[in-house]
Every structure is written in structure tokens, then in C-alpha cells.
Amino acid sequence: MPEYIEKVKFDDEGYLENHEHWSEDLAKTMAEEEGIYDLTSRHLEVIYAIRGEFAEKGEAPTLRRLTKVHGFPTKELYQLFPGGPGKKAARIAGVKKPHGCI
């Protein structure tokens, strides 16, 4: 395991405790833990949209907001982040899960 990962702390659900400790390298490692082995530029577009909204509002956007406000089609989000795109994308983006996610 890379040395920097040992310094990063996660909560009980696997979300980064301090969003400022996030990096693209960490995102790639977290994506692999979620079964996403090729973090593409489109994944990063979603991730940076989530991080931008988190920086602005203090919370991750919901899946609905990602589709309606940011323009990412729901079907594509499920393809990029299968099995729970809202939670997975937020986790990989280094922010807390969106409100309303179980």
C-alpha cells in the first residue's frame, strides 16, 4: 500500500474524513477498491463536479442534482459508477455521501 494512504483517515463507511487529503492518485486507489480499474476523464469530470459543489455548499450533490444541474445522464452515471453511483462517486471524490443515500 502506498505510504500516503496510511496517513489518510477514513470514517466507518469508508469515506475520507478530511476532503483536503484527496488527490487523483488516492481517487484511483479508491476507485479500484470499488471495482473501477480505469478512471477515465469522464469519471474525473463527475468527480470534480462533486468536489466543486462540495466546496461551494458543504455537501455532495445528490444523483438527481448531478443529472439535472450538472448534465450527467443517469444511465451514464450508473455505467461509470455501477452499483450506487451517488455513494461511489462521492467516496472516490473524497467527500461525504450525499444526503438521502442509505
- Answer yes or no: 101 catalytic: yes
Name the grid cell of 36: 473501477
**Type of residue found at 32:** E
Catalytic residue among 80, 90, 101, 102: 101
Q: How far is CA 8 from each of CA 45, 52, 64, rounded to the nearest angstrom?
A: 23, 21, 30
Name the grid cell of 31: 476507485
Catalytic positions are: 101
